[in-house]
Chain A
Amino acid sequence: MRFTRFVRRIVLLAALPMLLLGIPAAVSASAATTSSTGTGWIRLAHLSPNTPEVDVYLYSFGDSSAQIVLHHVGYGAVAPYEQVPAGEYTVAMRAAGAVATSTPVLSSSVWVVAGHAYTVAGLGPESGLRLQVLDDKLSTPPGKALVRIVQASLRQHVVSVSFGGHVLDGSLKFASVSPYQAVSAATATLNVTGSGEDAHASVPLAAGTVHTLVVLDGPKGLMIDDLLDAAGSGTAPAGAASTGFGGMAPHAPASPLPWLSVMGAGLVLAMLGGRRLRRLSAARS
């Protein structure tokens, strides 16, 4: 019967909002994004005392055009960190002014992992020059500073290094690198003592900072270069930040139950009316 079909359609239409409203409620839960930026850091250094100035090239592995070129890098120079996409790189050293296509004096590959930092340093005497990849730390124990020493003095083959009276390394050989050590945050005197020379400097080692102290041959004896590898908050606040009062937040939706009962009652009523109509029509025909 056309009329009954019409009634069924109306009942269906009335039920539709219920279905439609149920779906978005179920899928509204949102997840936090977890994508990573996928970059790391690299810095280049020349720490070989008797090696003349060099040009340093950084290539993304397999790419013949250099991503970074540093010209006339002399002993003691440490370039700032460069942020680079994670992946494999080649560091090449050529004599200063040598053409970019010439065979490098030295090259080394570095694998940059996202979120990690590396120092690629030319170390050793010119006769035994090597490129060493150092892993630079990007975390400290709470309230502490991290410090490591690069011994790049050729004149003083072995040095002793102490910070505020505390011996960091009693006999660090030329061209070697000490592991990082955690020290209590302080501004104190750093003492470097060789067999015939010594140097001292006041070095601030703040909590949450990571340092590389480079021992160098200076024009007038030993020198200390304090490199700040990384810095963070001295004290990390506990937990999350309470940065909102909710004035712009959507208000919690009211319970759908009362309206659902109204809808249900309406549907029952319509069904009863419809059935009665159908019966009456059937009785008539």
Chain B
Amino acid sequence: MLAGRTTAALVLAAGVAVAVAGGAGLMLTRHPETVQATALQAFPAPTGPIAAVPRHGTTKVAKPIALLIPAIGVSTSLIHLGLTSSGALQVPPSTAVAGWYTGSPRPGATGSAVIAGHIDSHAGPGIFFRLPQLKPGDRIYVRRADGTLAVFKVTAVQTYAKDKFPTAAVYGPAPDPELRLITCGGVFDHSLKSYLSNTIVYATEVG
């Protein structure tokens, strides 16, 4: 009788232990792996001559050479991006640098200048890792070859599924000097080795 009770209690205890272990295992494996990002290094706004907004937009402005976003610690030179053989936007070969699409207007000239950068590499954060953290009103600075700065303020940050990419809003004509920053976002599809969305920052020049 007593032995029966002990066995039954042991079976019960073992069952509870196994169930708890299963639950713990489930909890541990389902929790997504968090990757450590480097600490945010915000910096003060850059200084330099701010070129006047061109009167009719036909005035030439110098080529962009660097991008500075103090709020999210981005400070990078800008390389030139063209098109791939399939007509898609070239992306920088390095994840540590952003690039200006040479088919778009120069930053500060009339129209939407397009700058793209990677959100991450295979191993860690890319130059635009913190892009989704930008908020309306944050300032973006583009330094140009003649030393002048074009200053923009963020108006919107939006994420789109890649098959719903807003081509007109990014590459279409705009009546004033604007900026579009592009990076990846959303879910990473491990089988496609690609993110399924793009995050786009819309900014307009501060007059």
Contact = CB atoms under 8 A, between A and B. Distances in A.
Report whether chain A binds chain B.
Answer: yes
B198 A11 contact: no
Contacts of A140: 172-173
Interface stretch (B25-33, B70-78, B139-147): B25-33
B156 to A, nearest CB: 5
* Secondary structure dominating the interface of A: mixed
Contacts of A138: 172-175
Q: Is the interface on chain A under 10, 10 to 19, 20 to 34, or 35 or more residues?
A: 35 or more
A3 to B, nearest CB: 9
Contact of B26 (A43, A259, A272): A259
Given A253-B30, A260-B26, A273-B10, A241 B184 contact: yes
Contacts of A254: 29-30
Contacts, number: 305
- A227, A267, A272, A273 interface centre (most CB from chain B within 10 Å): A273
B86 A238 contact: yes
B174 A270 contact: no
B173 A263 contact: no
Interface of A: 7, 10-11, 13-18, 21, 25, 30, 32-35, 37, 39, 41, 43, 78, 80-81, 83, 117, 136-140, 208-210, 225-254, 256, 258-274, 276-277, 280, 284
Contacts of A241: 88-89, 91, 116, 165, 182-184, 198
Nearest to A232: B173
Contacts of A269: 11-12, 14-15, 18-19
Given A231-B174, A241-B184, A25 B8 contact: no
A248 B99 CA distance: 21
Nearest to B12: A273
Contacts of B13: 273
A280 B124 CA distance: 60
A7 to B, nearest CB: 6
Given A138-B174, A249-B120, A273-B13, A244 B183 contact: yes
B172 A242 contact: no
Contacts of A34: 158
Contacts of A81: 175-176
Contacts of B34: 250
Given A83-B204, A138-B175, A237-B89, A243 B182 contact: yes
Contacts of A266: 14-22
B35 interface: yes
B57 to A, nearest CB: 4
B30 A256 contact: yes
A53 to B, nearest CB: 18
A246 B19 contact: no
Given A17-B23, A259-B22, A273 B11 contact: yes
B26 A239 contact: no
Contacts of A240: 160, 162-163, 165, 198
Contacts of A239: 88, 162, 165
Nearest to B160: A32
Contact of A230 (B110, B120, B165): B110
A35 B11 CA distance: 58
Contact of A262 (B22, B37, B122, B129): B22
> What 6 pairs between A and B have smallest CB-CB spacing?
A270-B15, A266-B19, A273-B12, A269-B15, A231-B111, A266-B18
B118 A11 contact: no
30 contacts: A11-B19, A15-B23, A32-B160, A32-B197, A34-B158, A139-B173, A208-B111, A210-B173, A227-B56, A233-B101, A235-B103, A236-B170, A236-B171, A236-B172, A244-B118, A244-B120, A244-B126, A244-B183, A244-B184, A247-B121, A247-B123, A247-B125, A248-B124, A248-B125, A248-B126, A250-B35, A262-B25, A267-B15, A269-B15, A270-B15
